[in-house]
Structure 1
């Protein structure tokens, strides 16, 4: 059996815990990054004109919101943190601790559960100007600290 890597582990965790959401993993082996991309959908019943982050307006019946979290090698990766909900470093070839990866998937589920409700509220309330997801480092650390089980390193995939 092949050695378990961050990609394989994340894919298993996301498949098991995130069946209610559309989530994808984008591995950029040249930049040494793993991007976890997630989508939220909501019906735009009033067909409000909604501008996205780049200023493009849409009155579509269904609004699609996309965001992502980036896992990166602080030594080798070139990133712009403003492009992501959060950027989390990993330890080169050693990867990340299992507790951090399990905690991340659990926290993404929490973010999306809350975000789905916030998106629906955003579309139902005329006075709300902006919708965005929020990543709270302290909450993530709390979830990681609550992990029970062996906490070995899950290595970054080799290519």
Structure 2
């Protein structure tokens, strides 16, 4: 079977993300591929942690989830505030294999930094908020270093 964006993305994420949990959700109607990632950290101080929705938790292990979305550039742009980042692709051509590899590699970097930031947040009372940080400029740099230009097709139903 020929690789498509979903299979290539899964392969690269498995290679890059190591022990990090992730899930891929394909929204066929909207022509979107959502990648969700989860960070876990021990809440040693038993601090009360409040999420964006105001839900409070004193759990021993904090679970933080975020997601990014790949979307067809001929469709409506997803709300960027709801995602770590939104990345367009061409539905007819798909996405360059190198861009998918770069995405997986950069996401791994974001998660490693995020894990450190989450632990700092839980162990340092002067840090008031935590969120994963996606830097578009840094992602573009990672993409530049990957010259695999072969296109990977958007999946067929």
Q: Partners of 1:15 and 1:77 in 2: how far apart? A: 29
Q: CA RMSD in A?
A: 1.1
Query: Is 2:71–2:89's contact at 8 Å kept on the other side of the alignment?
Result: yes
Query: Is 1:33–1:77's contact at 8 Å kept on the other side of the alignment?
Result: no
Q: Does the alignment pair 1:151 with 2:149?
A: yes
CA deviation after TM superposition for structure 1 residue 151, in Å: 1.2
Q: Partners of 1:94 and 1:155 in 2: how far apart? A: 6
TM-score by length of 2: 0.96
Q: What residue number does 1:125 align with?
A: 124
Q: Which runs of 4+ in 1 moved over 3 A?
A: none
Q: Specify every segment of 5 or more residues in structure 1 that has no aligned partner in the other structure, as ranges.
A: none
Q: Partners of 1:104 and 1:18 in 2: how far apart? A: 11
Query: Is 1:32–1:77's contact at 8 Å kept on the other side of the alignment?
Result: no
1:94 is paired with a residue whose SS is coil
Q: Does the alignment pair 1:45 with 2:44?
A: yes
TM-score by length of 1: 0.95
Q: What residue number does 1:33 align with?
A: 32
